Structure 1
Amino acid sequence: MKYIIIGLGNFGASLSQKLSEMGNEVIGVDNNMSRVENIKDKITHAVNLDATDISAVGKLPLKDTDIVIVGIGEDKGANIMATALMKQMRVKRLISRAVSPLQETVLEAMGVDEIIHPEEETAERWAKKLNLIGVIDSFEVTGEYSIVETEIPKEYDGLSLEEIGLKRKYNIIVLTTIKITQEKNSIGSVKNVTQVQEVASAKTILYYGDIMVLYGNNRDIKNLLMAHEKNLSS
């Protein structure tokens, strides 16, 4: 995977380094030269430029990048401007950082794919999440086992857990499902609302677009997600 991370403060630098250590190509961007110098030997590339300047941003390989993350935290205006530019450049997947409820509302209105709250979430958790295609959220229970949220694929739509047989095929347990609905926020922009359902059983029916919460060995979870990705591309 190829990432561009804009803003190399504590969170952005840590996330950049962890994603790079996982074998990804990571380009770090910051207008502070000392931050660029501090990380240049730990990631693929580190670039000193102003991410709010459209002519400067145009020099980045945005079309070839899988995910762009705007991690600027201390300057909310620069965060919004850089995010707006990335949206204008039509990057494949855009994730931005919010440090206040109002900022989050603005980012939601702009149609940002995902919003990071680094004061609540660690860079390590986001690195693991981003490194697995199809993962919405996750946390490690032990070194080998995790709980993971992932979208229910189309081939499971309308089927029960008993019919799908995830435990039999992949040795994975579905703990529960999460229903996704939409409502408007305070400025009229549509946002997704999640509602956790009851503990899953063999009779639980899955619906395309909702979320299932999985528990299992990291290896088995990765095999399942890779199978989903293969089905999407075929």
Structure 2
Amino acid sequence: MKYIIIGLGNFGASLAEKLTEMGNEVIGVDINMAKVEAIKDKITHAVNLDSTDIAAVSNLPLKDTDIVIVGIGEDKGANIMSTALMKQLHVKRLISRAVSPLQEMVLEAMGVDEIIHPEEETAERWSKKLNLHGVVDSFEVNRDYSIVETTVPREFDGRTLEEIGLKKNYNIIVLTTIKLTREKNEIGSLKDVSNVQGVASAKTKLYQDDIMVLYGNNKDIKRLLKDKENMRS
């Protein structure tokens, strides 16, 4: 089997070494040259490149690779962007790593069916969490762009994304919507369960108090959240 592992931190490097020891051909990829140097003699090939750069990753032998694993952990934005590129380039089989529930939801909305969780959540789960009123959860993709969860206001209830015009009016994309339901767990206690509704489209209808997952520039998201708050006042 031929593997490409993107992200050579503790998890990615360990996986790359074990797969190589099992007789597989493994290409390890990382933007950090020191990590590439540390593993280059332990796996088939080690490559130093930016996995969020489509021109760079297009040089990888993706068509001849059986499985691509995005193992980036610390930089959630790079993980999402790298995974999106792999989807765009139609790799045979894609597995991605999630270190938070929101990241997992985004990956699921992107159509990634195989998600691995190599560690439990830590106290530093949100290293750069946005301090915005009305946000359920969020993380920054980079300095200027973020993915944000926020509740659907009453004014949007029963309307489609096309009718509301978030892309036109705010330059914001709705990646997916999430419906919260109350269900009993194994011991009979009620808990909130998040049900991701799939990739959103212009015809997706919003319902009050559901959650919409937004992607856009921080200034545009702040403007929407401010207008959303004004709707309620």
**What is the distance in 2 between the residues matched to 1:15 and 1:84?**
22
Runs (4 or more) in structure 1 with deviation over 2 Å come to 184-187
1:189 Cα deviation from its structure 2 partner:
1.8
Structure 2 residue runs without a partner (length 5+):
121-192, 200-233
Equivalent residue, structure 1, for 2:8:
8
Structure 1 residue runs without a partner (length 5+):
121-183, 191-234
**What is the distance in 1 between the residues matched to 2:194 and 2:54?**
30
Matched, 1:67 2:67: yes
Equivalent residue, structure 2, for 1:39:
39
RMSD, aligned CA: 1.5
Equivalent residue, structure 2, for 1:92:
92
Identity of aligned residues (%): 83
Matched, 1:189 2:209: no
Normalized per residue, the structure richer in helix is 1
1:113 Cα deviation from its structure 2 partner:
3.0
CA contact (8 A) 1:93 1:113 kept: no
**What is the distance in 2 between the residues matched to 1:63 and 1:185?**
35
Q: Deviations over 1:175-219 (max 9, x none)?
A: xxxxxxxxx9534129xxxxxxxxxxxxxxxxxxxxxxxxxxxxx
**What is the distance in 2 between the residues matched to 1:185 and 1:90?**
28
Task: State the TM-score, normalized to the length of structure 1.
Answer: 0.53
Equivalent residue, structure 2, for 1:218:
none
**What is the distance in 1 between the residues matched to 2:31 and 2:195?**
33
1:17 is aligned with what amino acid? Answer: E
2:195 is aligned with what amino acid? Answer: S
Task: State the TM-score, normalized to the length of structure 2.
Answer: 0.53
Equivalent runs, 1:4-153 vs 2, <5 Å: 4-119=4-119
**What is the distance in 2 between the residues matched to 1:112 and 1:187?**
13
1:53 Cα deviation from its structure 2 partner:
0.2
**What is the distance in 1 between the residues matched to 2:195 and 2:105?**
8
